[in-house]
Amino acid sequence: MSAALKTVAGGAPPRHFLELMDIEPGALRRMLDLGTRAKRGESLGQPLAGKTVALIFEKPSTRTRVSFEVGIRQLGGQVTTLTKGDTQLGRGETPADTARVLSRYVDAIVLRTDDVRKIRELAEYATVPVINGLTDISHPCQLMADVMTFEEHRGPIAGQVVAWTGDGNNVAQSFIQAAARFNFTLRLATPPELAPPADLVAWARAQGAKVELTNDPSAAVAGARCVVTDTWVSMSDEGEATRNRHNLLAPYQLNARLLSHAAPDAIVMHCLPAHRGEEITDEVMDGPQSVVFDEAENRLHAQKGVLLWALGLA
């Protein structure tokens, strides 16, 4: 009997990986430990043998798609990948109905979408695990790779200072959740108009997280062990919105001058794709403090831990 049918028949509820804030720190740490073991070359076996994962991409993807496809296959599983034009979600079918159907075919679902309401509805009605491959408000898989990358280069992230410069976007919002779950100080420098949601910041602080907001990127970066930025314009923004964002965010560019305020051994992260010369300069992205491509590689390894946890195999 498939995992989906076992759940329908009255098994334990599925383990969804939707937001870092939904998951206890110990479970997140177990996922990272598995990812670290995988990167070191330790065999995790073929725990996904006989299992199929559906990947649904309503937005373009390079790293998320390839890292999940390769990771699932390396763990012995099968993949079926659906882009926006391949599903009925874009033609009026509800996420609830899609969830009910796919749960009878596959053992887990990964969704990358603009609208967080879609993944929440999908998870509500799915009887198999649903994994957040990116939404308009968060990117938790990216943060698992980012924490793994920091610790690979600089040791435990707990107690360290991470600085964000730029838009308070979905990745920034996942960094806020990560600060609460992994116990590091997060300083976010954003224009007032692009600050992260106040309720999310309040939640993190209530969890004991040290989250500091500023409009001064130099103040945010001062002494930080890690400096992070992201693209200024999402895939759905264009026209006047693009011009306005560039005007607001130009002072937040991650360049050599800004990086000079960080700790001497600070590392630089960017989740990619990068718009070189906009949010980050070539000098910084290709410089000795950049770990951008290690960070990209670690999506593959960290997501193996996420998959195994979600499927109840770790």
Q: List, by residue number, the catalytic residues.
A: 112, 139, 142, 230, 271, 299
| Separation of alpha carbons 310 and 111, rounded Å | 14
Best CA proximity match to 67, nearest among 173, 146, 141, 175: 141
Displacement of CA 145 from its chain's centroid (Å): 7
| Separation of alpha carbons 250 and 226, rounded Å | 20
Tokens 């209530």 correspond to: 206
| Integer CA distances (angstroms), 54 to 30, 85, 112, in order | 24, 15, 11
The number of C-alpha atoms within 13 Å of 60 and in the hemisphere containing its C-beta is: 5
| Separation of alpha carbons 176 and 184, rounded Å | 10
Best CA proximity match to 229, nearest among 173, 270, 185: 270
| Separation of alpha carbons 305 and 314, rounded Å | 8
Residues 6+ apart with CB under 8 A from 293: none
Best CA proximity match to 191, nearest among 162, 214, 218: 214
Q: 42-64 burial, b for 16+ CB within 10 Å, e for fewer?
A: eebeebbeebbbbbbbbbebebb
**Amino acid (one-letter) located at 101:** V
Number of CB atoms found within 10 A of residue 272's CB: 16
Best CA proximity match to 215, nearest among 196, 200, 201, 195: 195
